Structure 1
């Protein structure tokens, strides 16, 4: 791993929080992700399943975490199963976790090689009544590929049909949405790396560079600062490309007078940051671009103030819609008749701002969090309003990452990343 080792106390705390909410005499099992094939002998880079990482810090394939807090014997209360490493694997694939190293990373004392998993599980199931299975119930999830976790659930149900089943996901949705201070520090690190990349492209960008050249500059800066790279597929959208919300081709030339919308950020230690900025290719905003830019920034600043404990996500978005409507009226993009005659299911402002303003963020860019429950302190949200005007050939989105506080305004993890138009122009022309 490129990142510095995380203090295992974080994972010890996370396991304690999870097991405190388990039913009596129950077992919870979490699997690592697969390494996914491309074709022939090619594979995609490994990315760990966030749940097993959150609970153990184990960041390698073919790993299983088992939690059994009511086990009759101490050595069965928590077990980390790992693929057995040897000299051959070390030569061909590189260092894998040894039992000693796994304890250093996770704080789990009982580390067992994976080949003994079924035998160990058989013993445990003779003591347990319930098993927690880990299914993906995130509100944005669309899973078409059978995962290692899904294969395990199928196998377990066949093998142990008499046991009761419970779900890990509702517990994890609540736990993972409220960050420990160590986690906020890791997200801050990802934001700091993102800042370095953004400042680099401010001095690099000029007319006739390509979107992919800018992408390369960002990737170089991220990796040289111990990131694996992008937290998500980067969007570097010049001109009218900005009006395609998930534009990822990044293959066009940036033309003088156009804007570039960035939705791009670094990860660090599997934690995400999520930034949007919009800059002028020529180093200066036109009068119209600046008017729209300032309107988006005002919406972002006002929306940020609404992220307070007790706020409901749905109501928050209704309030942001009112703020955006006011700005669109001021820009002449809407008139009073548009608002008076709007469809409540798709308000008038949605013509120019069609996506949500905020989502949970953390180990996943669109992180866990139950949207029906009130916001709490130490939840991390994006705030990302935008105005998209295809008829005028540009779109503007601005996005920061905010930590909800017990009182007062949220803490901005991207406070050091330039966002005011004057500062961006100054940096691009200095």
Structure 2
């Protein structure tokens, strides 16, 4: 990521702040067990504005400060610890490599940050995300309040930073789109690899290993979320992550997995038969979901509202469920009564970006917002037909979801994950034994 991009983002944010100060801590390090930690991943808002990858860091934006508006608190260089834990940027690197106007040791934040709050009207901050840091912030504000007799005034208002910053993040710039295309391309290759590797008798985790190999090989440090690899009855569990069952002949395999590249996520789902050939019922359900997805993607264009793809998918799926004999009665009635939710219980998509379920309002003034160029969303209709006496023979335990990452363009849309096969003929040809 070009540091000029982050600088421009900071300048845009500060243009909305007036006489305020913005404070953004990165994510804390989390313990997995005893003295083992989870791999560190920076807070998305913090990383969006700084691109600083290290833990124990806080960014402060102070518009109009004579010594520099962007201040970064971070770990100082420590040769002994760096032998054990890896290299640090240090204060000099924070300035030279990451564009900070000024940098201070994180250990000195209690002494320095209260001074940055003095005589500022507002604090822009995301309260509640990190409760421990919330407490530190209130301590610093109260310290400034204690100087009132010296003519110093403390900020009188807290402003939710999410409102401004998340609207900025909703619209992806060229650098972000480039990263998301790369993440989608790596993800598509991983799904192709999984299709080619799949055999009856394998375990779900063996397929997961194929995905993770391709992610890492492509340059993804880790997946954007825990992969879902569910066969047979597990394909009907929306967020299934046990990934330990055997793949059996006659099952479909649903894979929901995406790579992350430099903080940006892909989110792609494909479903295919374990044997490499769709049977009649599997084909019927798959073709219905694919038709619903195609119709929904056509609704992704400027001027359409957020809910148009979902409404289109729901109508298509409900009509198809009736045609398959899984629903009986009026399509309009089933939609009005939400009867389709027995088989399709989730929305048709979500925003995508630095977070898999990315930030950004879905409604403005209680109205579904209009789609605009630069937005990226998923389109992911599905049907999940479990077990039961009312399920026609042959349809039990067929879970199908087809999900793509779609960029809204000026002309319409671009499917970023188009390299992942989803046509039946293409899947069967790829899996041909």
TM, length-normalised to structure 2 = 0.90
Q: Within 2, Cα distance between the matches of 1:414 and 1:277?
A: 11
Judge conservation of contact 2:297–2:309 (CA < 8 Å) in 1. no
Paired position in structure 2 for 1:368: 359
- Shift of the 334–156 alpha-carbon distance from structure 1 to 2, 3 Å rule, reads farther
Q: Within 2, Cα distance between the matches of 1:272 and 1:343?
A: 32
Paired position in structure 2 for 1:277: 270
Judge conservation of contact 1:299–1:320 (CA < 8 Å) in 2. yes
Paired position in structure 2 for 1:426: 429
In the alignment, is residue 384 of structure 1 matched against residue 380 of structure 2? yes
Q: Within 2, Cα distance between the matches of 1:128 and 1:92?
A: 41
Judge conservation of contact 2:229–2:255 (CA < 8 Å) in 1. yes
In the alignment, is residue 44 of structure 1 matched against residue 32 of structure 2? no
- Shift of the 148–175 alpha-carbon distance from structure 1 to 2, 3 Å rule, reads farther
Deviations 1:249-289 (A, max 9, x none): 00000001111001111111111100100011101000211
- Counterpart pick for 1:18 among 7, 13, 28: 13
Q: Within 2, Cα distance between the matches of 1:158 and 1:122?
A: 9
- The count of aligned residue pairs is 411
Q: Within 1, Cα distance between the matches of 2:180 and 2:144?
A: 40
Stretch of structure 1 that moved more, 187-196 or 419-428: 187-196
Paired position in structure 1 for 2:259: 266
- Counterpart pick for 1:289 among 279, 282, 300: 282
Q: Within 2, Cα distance between the matches of 1:274 and 1:358?
A: 10
Q: Aligned-pair distance for 1:224?
A: 2.1
Q: Within 2, Cα distance between the matches of 1:7 and 1:321?
A: 41
Deviations 1:338-374 (A, max 9, x none): x454473x51221211100010000000000101132
Matched residue SS, 1:429: coil
Judge conservation of contact 1:404–1:411 (CA < 8 Å) in 2. yes
Judge conservation of contact 2:254–2:269 (CA < 8 Å) in 1. yes
- Shift of the 330–250 alpha-carbon distance from structure 1 to 2, 3 Å rule, reads same
Q: Aligned-pair distance for 1:158?
A: 3.6
Q: Within 1, Cα distance between the matches of 2:381 and 2:97?
A: 39
Spell out the pairing of 1:69-148 with structure 2 (5 A cutoff).
69-71=63-65, 73=66, 75-135=67-127, 146-148=130-132
Judge conservation of contact 1:50–1:364 (CA < 8 Å) in 2. yes
Paired position in structure 1 for 2:149: none
- Counterpart pick for 1:203 among 196, 202, 205: 196
Stretch of structure 1 that moved more, 417-426 or 35-44: 35-44
Q: Aligned-pair distance for 1:415?
A: 1.2
Q: Within 1, Cα distance between the matches of 2:36 and 2:135?
A: 22
Q: Aligned-pair distance for 1:382?
A: 0.3
Q: Within 2, Cα distance between the matches of 1:152 and 1:368?
A: 26
Q: Aligned-pair distance for 1:383?
A: 0.3
Matched residue SS, 1:132: strand
Q: Within 1, Cα distance between the matches of 2:52 and 2:136?
A: 18
Bigger Cα Rg = 2
- Shift of the 157–412 alpha-carbon distance from structure 1 to 2, 3 Å rule, reads same
Stretch of structure 1 that moved more, 418-427 or 192-201: 192-201
Stretch of structure 1 that moved more, 394-403 or 317-326: 317-326
Stretch of structure 1 that moved more, 294-303 or 112-121: 112-121
Matched residue SS, 2:363: coil
Matched residue SS, 2:72: strand
Judge conservation of contact 2:296–2:308 (CA < 8 Å) in 1. no
Matched residue SS, 1:284: coil
- Shift of the 88–313 alpha-carbon distance from structure 1 to 2, 3 Å rule, reads same
Judge conservation of contact 2:404–2:416 (CA < 8 Å) in 1. yes
Deviations 1:381-411 (A, max 9, x none): 0000001111311110000000011232x11
- Shift of the 378–92 alpha-carbon distance from structure 1 to 2, 3 Å rule, reads same
Q: Aligned-pair distance for 1:310?
A: 3.5
Judge conservation of contact 1:76–1:124 (CA < 8 Å) in 2. no
- Counterpart pick for 2:218 among 217, 225, 231: 225
Q: Aligned-pair distance for 1:81?
A: 1.1
Judge conservation of contact 1:283–1:425 (CA < 8 Å) in 2. yes
Paired position in structure 2 for 1:140: none
Judge conservation of contact 1:78–1:110 (CA < 8 Å) in 2. yes
Q: Within 1, Cα distance between the matches of 2:196 and 2:174?
A: 34
Q: Aligned-pair distance for 1:202?
A: 1.6
